[in-house]
Amino acid sequence: MEGLEEVLAQELRDLQLTNINLLKRGVECEGNWAQLYRCNYQVRTAVRVLVPLKTFEIETQDEFYDAVRTIRWSNYIAEGQTFAVRSTIFGEIFSNSLFVTYRCKDAIVDQLSGEHDYRPNVDLEQPDIVINVHLHKTSLSIALDSSGKSLHLRNYKERSYKAPLNEVFAAGLIKLSGWDGKQRFYDPMCGSGTFTTEALMMAANIPSGKFVERFSFENWPEFYPEIWEGVKGAAEAAIQPPEAEMFAGDINRYAVRDLRKNLQKLPYKEQINIKEADFLESRGIPGSVVYLNPPYDKRVQINNVKEFYKLISDTLKNGWQDSDAWILSGNNQAMKSFRLKPSAKINVDNGGIPAKFYKYEMYKGTRKPVKNEKESE
């Protein structure tokens, strides 16, 4: 995801992957089978894990078709398996990514039916094998998608209250903030609780893929079940009670209900203190880290957003001394009414809405908050 490349690279370093290079909205690296399985099961900020098969330079649509046919597809799609192709294109050779998908599918089926006498079917809902085509001008890259579905689908979320965060994004923001899983954690505008569930998973070392039913690599003709069982077993053994005290709340009781539902599958959920409460009347315990994702009047409308943001900053200033607050907002105008000075401001992309992740460090009397801080953008 845009803005989370370095966080992802660090997760990969932690898993001892090698030759790590940052790309735009991605990271490339090298690893063995166990590491590939771990990337899917344990890396919180990857959206999908692709294994490149081949790259080409092409000039025409016919060259595209021929390029796809150079790959020996019987190695990757066995008789009786279904497949799907997902394409992203940029450039002049094709005007439509759907047409690229069709041509790729034709090339694969033509090769397998001509040389091996079987015709795999396309299944867009639950394909066994997922092929990723990326065409940037004349550079074509074909990969297998080892994840299958996007890894943000952790399979713990039963309910979504207003404007829930994407799970990968929420995990990435918590990692960007540097939270160590031990400091006191607050999510006082929790909605359906993506910050809280991701934070609990981090603090308790619960693998991000623990509840995923099946990854696509499990369907590959070349799959090593004993390595996969080893990866899962080691990750399971590392689950531990969270050290951090954790708090979540929302002014809306339906949000609180949804958070409880979403936590149902998670070990140690009972260690989170959850209540229906108005943040604007709250006080925090010194030494806390607060994550706020207030409505910012884009997906969720609110009356007088500037006044609301001013009140949030007053609450932080008066009730949360000696704590850090991180606020995600896509409303620059409203943030101007915040009466605190950010010590960090990070550009992020919240599902297509450009947003910023602001850090505020509240000190008891030692630093004066700045009034109506002008932003330089």
Ligand X SMILES: C[S@@+](CC[C@H](N)C(=O)[O-])C[C@H]1O[C@@H](n2cnc3c(N)ncnc32)[C@H](O)[C@@H]1O
Strands, sheet with 139-145, edge to edge from the N-terminal-most edge strand: 50-57, 139-145, 129-136, 82-90, 121-122
CB of 173 to ligand X, least distance (A): 10
Q: Which of 272, 200, 274, 280 is nearest to 240 (CA)?
A: 200
CB of 281 to ligand X, least distance (A): 8
Distance CA 275, CA 297 (A): 24
Distance CA 345, CA 324 (A): 13
Nearer to ligand X, 128 or 258 (CB): 258
Residues that bind ligand X (CB under 6 A): 161-165, 188-195, 250-252, 255, 278-280, 293-295, 300
Distance CA 247, CA 144 (A): 40
CB of 278 to ligand X, least distance (A): 5
Nearer to ligand X, 112 or 255 (CB): 255
**Residue at shortest CB range from ligand X:** 191
CB of 10 to ligand X, least distance (A): 23
Nearer to ligand X, 145 or 324 (CB): 324
Q: Residue 228: what are its φ and ψ, rounded to 5°?
A: -60, -45
Token pair 């094709």 is at which residue? 94
CB of 69 to ligand X, least distance (A): 45
Please answer whether residues 196 and 259 qualify as being in contact, where contact means their C-beta atoms are separated by less than 8 angstroms.
yes
Q: Residue 279: what are its φ and ψ, rounded to 5°?
A: -60, -35
Nearer to ligand X, 165 or 327 (CB): 165
Nearer to ligand X, 247 or 279 (CB): 279
